[in-house]
Chains A and B, each alone.
Chain A
């Protein structure tokens, strides 16, 4: 079975440019999570969708960040405009919400470098 798919795997951009990260969750999963990982702050949850609806976006750092999930198979995380401090590895994870505690499965991540 295909796991969580993320693209691109690496992105290098210049400050001020728009960046779009993409995620395809595991087929049949109905919850999707975007995380950011840095050396200083570790792995932080940015936003969480359930059945394509954003449930909690309290981790989104500021208005420059936005996320969408137009259907069950696709989600995007957009940064506009990007800044050097946004450089990090961004992970997408998905799970099957069963009413109890669900296991999240992570994608390979997108390493973003903003110059």
Chain B
């Protein structure tokens, strides 16, 4: 059974303190690894899709990387507005996504 596990569950950072979020997946034949951001009371907002090991994508202070069994979301010099829950999901069959439990990020000024 496909499983997606995210760690840590919660992360508190000071503004400017860089860190990484982890997403591990068990599926073989990965067709895509997705990262979403979710703010309280809102739907998940698409950030990145990664397709193959070694691939990297960047957007502002965020960089996502992919290995054969893990993906990392690196946050460089975060700001309070980066506070949100970050979700990852894998796609192994058709267009269906399996989501991890999320990492709740809190950035304090």
A interface, CB within 8 angstroms of B: 4, 31, 33, 42-45, 48, 50, 55-56, 91, 93, 95, 97, 100-109
**Contact A95:B95 (CB < 8 A) given known A101-B32, A106-B43:** yes
> Bound state CA distance, A44 and B44, in angstroms?
13
Q: How distant is A12 from chain B, measured CB to nearest CB, in Å?
A: 16
List A contacts of B44 (CB < 8 A).
43, 91, 106
In the complex, 13 of the A-B residue pairs with CB atoms within 8 angstroms, ordered by the A residue number, are: A42-B101, A43-B44, A44-B99, A45-B96, A48-B95, A56-B94, A56-B96, A97-B95, A105-B46, A106-B36, A106-B43, A109-B41, A109-B42
Cβ-defined contact, A45 with B94, below 8 A: no
> Bound state CA distance, A91 and B36, in angstroms?
14
A31's partner among B31, B41, B87, B95 (CB-CB below 8 A) is: B95
List B contacts of A106 (CB < 8 A).
36, 43-45
> Which 10 residue pairs across A and B have the least CB separation, nearest first?
A106-B43, A101-B32, A43-B99, A42-B101, A106-B44, A101-B31, A101-B91, A108-B43, A102-B95, A109-B43
> Bound state CA distance, A106 and B42, in angstroms?
9
B interface, CB within 8 angstroms of A: 31-32, 34, 36, 41-46, 49, 51, 87, 89, 91, 94-102
Cβ-defined contact, B87 with A43, below 8 A: yes
**Interface secondary structure of B, over-half rule:** strand
Q: Nearest B residue to A31 by beta-carbon distance?
A: B95
Q: Nearest A residue to B42 by beta-carbon distance?
A: A108
List A contacts of B45 (CB < 8 A).
106
Q: How distant is A77 from chain B, measured CB to nearest CB, in Å?
A: 15
> Bound state CA distance, A4 and B89, in angstroms?
20
